[in-house]
């Protein structure tokens, strides 16, 4: 996912109008001030989208951990998805494993909803400015 995030940020950087940097230079803004006042605020939507994708990817990680460590040693590297799998398939606690899976889904959904709202809010603020 790192190359995908890099492409998202590159696309966000290419959307910034170079005239903004020229105007900031004319006003005497240095590189750091240009970054704080122009680049970072205009990259917020791309950063939020990248955060959304990376967060969802982190929540659903299962295959790598299962193949590499199987959650071990002990439960040191056991993410929630592997915990739900282990509860359902190894310990035959289907209700408990399903409950953990549903809680993971609800948490991921609410987190995604919050980030989508933030993206919409930042877009509105940018259009009004």
Instruction: Convert the pLDDT of each residue in 54-79 to its tens digit.
Output: 888 888 888 888 888 887 787 788 88
Q: Stretch 35-46: mean pLDDT, rounded? A: 90
Two tokens at 34?
A: 């240009």
Do the Cβ atoms of 100 and 48 come closer than 8 Å? no
36 lies in the same domain as 66: no
Instruction: Judge if pTM exceeds 0.85.
Output: no
Q: Which domain range does residue 86 map to? A: 60-129
CA 42 vs. chain centroid, Å, equals 17
DSSP code per residue over 96-113: HHHHHHHHHHHHHHHHHH
Looking at the chain, how many residues does it have? 129
Asked, for residue 88, whether it belongs to a domain, the answer is: yes
Asked, for residue 48, whether it belongs to a domain, the answer is: no
16 lies in the same domain as 68: no
127 lies in the same domain as 77: yes
Q: What SS3 class is residue 11?
A: helix
Query: DSSP H helical segments within the chain, as ranges?
Result: 2-14, 18-26, 31-34, 40-59, 63-68, 80-85, 94-128
How many independent structural domains does the chain possess?
A: 2
In the predicted structure, residue 121 carries a pLDDT above the cut 80: no
């Amino acid at each position: 996912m790192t190359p995908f995030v890099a492409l998202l940020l590159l696309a966000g950087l290419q959307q910034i109008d170079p005239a903004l940097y020229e105007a900031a230079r004319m006003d005497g803004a240095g590189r750091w001030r240009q970054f704080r006042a122009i680049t970072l605020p205009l990259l917020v939507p791309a950063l939020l989208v990248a955060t959304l994708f990376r967060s969802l990817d982190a929540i659903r990680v299962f295959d790598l951990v299962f193949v590499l460590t199987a959650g071990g040693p002990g439960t040191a590297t056991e993410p929630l998805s592997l915990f739900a799998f282990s509860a359902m398939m190894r310990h035959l606690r289907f209700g408990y494993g399903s409950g953990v899976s549903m809680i993971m889904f609800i948490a991921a959904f609410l987190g995604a909803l919050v980030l989508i709202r933030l993206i919409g809010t930042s877009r509105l603020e940018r259009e009004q400015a």
